[in-house]
């Protein structure tokens, strides 16, 4: 995704936020029997937010190299508009609506 122009450090920030929310939820439900299976690692259907955060942290240096290399895609309106113009032969910003 870094080659496509997505900042890999943003994924780390997202999973950090979700990890904190997950911890808050666990703290508020600590006296409840609801969600007991989520606390046992081998009964989970998905990795914990903490596990995902750690995986991204390990991969981040390599992903940032791809993100910062010349030729990596840029996600900006101007490049999207230019792509639309070359694909359709018309400039979408110059169209007039009735």
The phi and psi torsions of 31 (rounded to 5 degrees) equal -95, 5
| Segments forming the whole domain that contains residue 25 | 1-69
Is 79 domain-assigned?
no
Q: What is the pLDDT of residue 79?
A: 47
Is 24 domain-assigned?
yes
Is 23 domain-assigned?
yes
Interhelix angle 49-68/8-28, rounded to 10 degrees, is 170
Average of per-residue pLDDT values in the chain? 74
Q: What is the pLDDT of residue 77?
A: 45
Least confident of 22-31, 63-72, 76-85: 76-85
Q: What is the pLDDT of residue 98?
A: 47
Element (H, E) at 82: helix 77-88
Is 35 domain-assigned?
yes
Six token digits for residue 47: 């990795």
Six token digits for residue 83: 């792509």
How many structural domains comprise the chain?
Answer: 1
């Amino acid at each position: 995704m870094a080659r496509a122009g997505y900042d890999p450090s943003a994924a780390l920030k997202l999973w950090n936020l979700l990890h904190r929310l997950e911890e808050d939820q666990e703290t508020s439900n600590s006296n409840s029997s609801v969600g007991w299976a989520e606390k046992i690692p081998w009964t989970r259907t998905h990795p914990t937010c903490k596990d995902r955060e750690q995986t991204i942290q390990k991969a981040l240096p390599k992903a940032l190299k791809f993100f910062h290399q010349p030729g990596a895609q840029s996600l900006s309106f101007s490049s999207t508009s230019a792509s639309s113009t070359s694909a359709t032969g018309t400039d979408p910003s110059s169209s007039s609506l009735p």
